[in-house]
Amino acid sequence: MAEAFVKDHDPFRCSVCLDPLRIPVTIPCGHSYCMSCISACWDQEDEKGEYSCPQCRESFTPRPVLRKSTMLDQLVEEKLKMAEVQAQAAPSAPGDVECDICTGRKRKADKSCLVCLVSFCQIHIQPHYGAPALKKHKLVNASTQLEQRICSQHDRLLEMFCQTDHKMICVLCAMDEHKGHDTVSPAVGSEERESQVADVKKTLQQRIQEREEEAREQKKTLMSHKRYAKAIKDQSNEIFSSLCEVVKRRRVEVKRLIRDQELTVVRPREKILQELEQEIAELRRKDDELERLSCEDHLQVFQTLQFLSTPDTKEPSSHVDEPNLKDLYPSITELKKSVENICTSIRSLVSKEESTIHIDVHDFSQLSEKEISPFVFVRNMAWNIMISPISRPDTAPPQKRLGFYLQCRPITGSE
């Protein structure tokens, strides 16, 4: 406490013990000490019979009589209290009312004076507790709205209430524009105002309860719609997953069928091409033999001509049944349209449900799947595509088998 209380040459500090003065006494030279400290010093000088001041060394004979300095004791007490308050005073934080008197770092205001129209911290409010003139001032808890208590026209404190105009006014307003009006002090009719405050508070409490109940209902509705949206999202994911599986499976089937039909065309054509190449080779061989014939050997020419003129009994077949691939693109296009129809149905159902859906939050858990999800119908359509039986009759010609595999049942609202 001593370190927080005094500094060097502090008049309220004892120069012997260096602590705040305790039972202060003033000796003839004017210096002040604790009564116990100066007494102990002079006790050591009893043998000499001469007593001196520890600071200025002025001597006194005989030993001065020590008496408590009442005024100095009061000043020391006030200094101690001020130091304690100052040590406890907290600096202001964001949002706190700051002391208007503090310089440098502002402390947190403790009180506001309605007369001074200033906010004070615990240190600077002390004069209002001690000075007789300041004790009459009206103190309230620290407030940032002191300017609202000042008349904007006369810069005076609003201390009267005009019942005619229902507003707070200052003394000058009462003498000027509100002259002749029914004015009273705010302290008058406090019971009536307390009743009004109680009524307003009751109304506010009732509105708070109503809003809290409405907020609870909104929370229930919000949670229900979140669960509803999650159910729709899960089922839409199921639908699109099914569609992806359908498209992947149809793609594999189409590739396999195209490969099968390709083989039905390639193998016969390769056989025909091989026969034609053999025939061409035979004809070239005969042509070469004719080139080598000697016209002088009439018998050999005659025999060779007879052999070369003999027609082949086997004619290569150039006819192969062509698969009917012209329906390939329309069939795939029809599958694409079926998928697009499902997507369109989903979008239209969602848009319709957003504007018309109404869920009773108390009965949500009892709703059936059909009532919860508008996607059930569309999901079933996608499911029908995925699980539709695919038969492959062995008797069907290849060109018709391909078209059969590519067909998808039309997606309409009647299914």
Domain residue ranges in the chain: 2-87, 198-289+321-406
Q: Is 379 a residue whose pLDDT tops 60? A: no
119 and 143 Cβ atoms separated by less than 8 Å: yes
Q: Is 75 a residue whose pLDDT tops 80? A: yes
Q: Is 183 a residue whose pLDDT tops 60? A: yes
Euclidean distance between CA atoms 41 and 48, whole angstroms: 12
Euclidean distance between CA atoms 101 and 122, whole angstroms: 11
Q: Is 391 a residue whose pLDDT tops 60? A: no
375 and 236 Cβ atoms separated by less than 8 Å: yes
155 and 161 Cβ atoms separated by less than 8 Å: no
CA distance readout (Å), 63 to 58, 59, 193: 12, 9, 70
User: In this structure, which topology does domain 2-87 adopt according to CATH?
Assistant: Herpes Virus-1 (3.30.40)
pLDDT of residue 209: 94
| Three-state DSSP state, 68 | strand
CB atoms within 10 A of CB 239: 22
Lowest mean pLDDT among 87-91, 96-100, 109-113: 87-91
408 and 335 Cβ atoms separated by less than 8 Å: yes
Q: Is 205 a residue whose pLDDT tops 90? A: yes
Q: Which residue has the higher pLDDT, 305 or 395?
A: 305
Q: What pLDDT band is residue 214 in, cutting at 50, 70 and 90?
A: very high
Q: Which amino acid is at 295?
A: C
Lowest mean pLDDT among 23-27, 168-172, 190-194, 359-363: 359-363
Q: Which residue has the higher pLDDT, 386 or 37?
A: 37
Euclidean distance between CA atoms 260 and 370, whole angstroms: 44
CA distance readout (Å), 323 to 26, 31, 153, 269: 132, 130, 102, 13
pTM: 0.36
**Regarding beta strands 118-120 and 139-141, do their DSSP bridges make them parallel or antiparallel, or are they unpaired?**
unpaired
Q: Which residue is it, tokens 């030279």?
A: 29
Euclidean distance between CA atoms 251 and 249, whole angstroms: 5
